[in-house]
Structure 1
Amino acid sequence: MNPTEAVPSIEWDVMIDQLRAQTRVGIYGHERVSQPVVIDAVLHCRSLALPGHIEDCLDYDAFCRMLCAYLDEQPHTDLVERLAADLLALGFDRFPMLEDAVLTLYKPHAVRSAERVGVRLRWSRHDYLRWRAHLAGLPSAEAGHA
């Protein structure tokens, strides 16, 4: 029996609702200037012990600041799908307790007749590591250990 199987894991979700930021995203010329975006996220966390200190948690303030800083600093991304993946990649890289996530990235001014449009990305840490390994050219068997 694996020793970690006997220890129950603790799971929790961090919810982010309507985080507002500015960035440059889109395929059209007028989207190359800064525009508003809105982010909703559910960040599923797991650890082997109940968090006792902020270092053991997913610090949602730090997570939100990280997203806003990235969005503000990135020069331009054509596809909102790619930008959503870049944002979750930052989260998986920085927060080891992040097990899986759903991130919705809205562009409020993208379609005049809609309140907002966007994309929703569902990603597990396992899927993220496989994607990262694929980008690095690693064989599939090494992807889970990247």
Structure 2
Amino acid sequence: MKHSEAGPPVEWDVVIDQLRAQTRIGIHNHERVAQPVLIDAVLHCRSQALPEEISECLDYDAFCRMLCAYLDAQTHTDLVEQLAADLLALAFDRFAMLDDATLTLYKPHAVRSAAQVGVRLRWSRHDFVRRCAHLAAARLAETMDSP
């Protein structure tokens, strides 16, 4: 950033509406094959200055490609809640200016009588950091318990 004076933080939202992807998600046997999912996201960003170039922004094209690549590559996740958390963890890990986010992951074919059902997850960067610390502590405890 080329700004020499540090003023109050600048905040903005990146909004993504109905990103379409395919993935393997669900507890039923027929959900072991790829099925469509839709993602809505509101990504609240914060920095010390208004971005002047793409490297200072949350690049929404890179964000969408990252999610689609992850969803395409993952072998299977039983719970929509877990997959939504995995996607937000990727976002917080990759984009430093991401301050908080709301991500909704829909399964359009999950319930015949509904247009779509899904899970909406809200996280702040603080939530992400706490989750990472908890997972690291759990892994450490597992290694200490192993003979």
Shared fold, TM over 0.5 = yes
The answer to whether structure 1 residue 105 and structure 2 residue 94 are counterparts is no
Partners of 1:102 and 1:127 in 2: CA distance? 12
1:119 corresponds to 2:140: no
Cα distance, 1:37 vs. partner?
0.1
Q: Give every structure 1 segment of 4 or more consecutive aligned residues whose post-TM-superposition deviation is greater than 2 Å.
A: none
Opposite residue 105 of structure 1, the aligned amino acid is: L
Q: Which amino acid aligns with 1:74?
A: Q
Count of matched residue positions in the alignment of Structure 1 and Structure 2: 133
Percent identity of the aligned residues?
A: 78
The aligned residue for residue 56 of structure 1 is 56
- Alpha-carbon distance between aligned partners in 2 of 1:45 and 1:27, rounded to the nearest angstrom: 34
The DSSP-based 3-state class of the residue aligned with 2:106 is strand
Map 1:1-146 to 2 at 5 A: 7-137=7-137
Give the aligned residue type for 2:81.
Answer: E
TM-score (norm 2): 0.89
C-alpha deviation, 1:7, in angstroms = 2.6
Cα deviation 1:83-102 (Å, max 9, x = unaligned): 00000000000000000000
Structure 1 residue 57, shift from structure 2 partner: 0.2
Output the CA distance in 1 between the equivalents of 2:79 and 2:11: 32
Tell me the distance in 1 between the aligned counterparts of 2:14 and 2:49.
17
Q: Distance in 1 between matches of 2:20 and 2:131?
A: 27
Structure 2 unaligned runs (5+)? Answer: 1-5, 139-147
Using structure 1 for the length normalisation, give the TM-score. 0.90
Let me know the Cα RMSD of the aligned residues. Answer: 1.0
Counterparts of 2:7 and 2:131 in 1: how far apart (Å)?
Answer: 29
Q: Residue 90 of structure 2 aligns to a residue in which SS?
A: helix
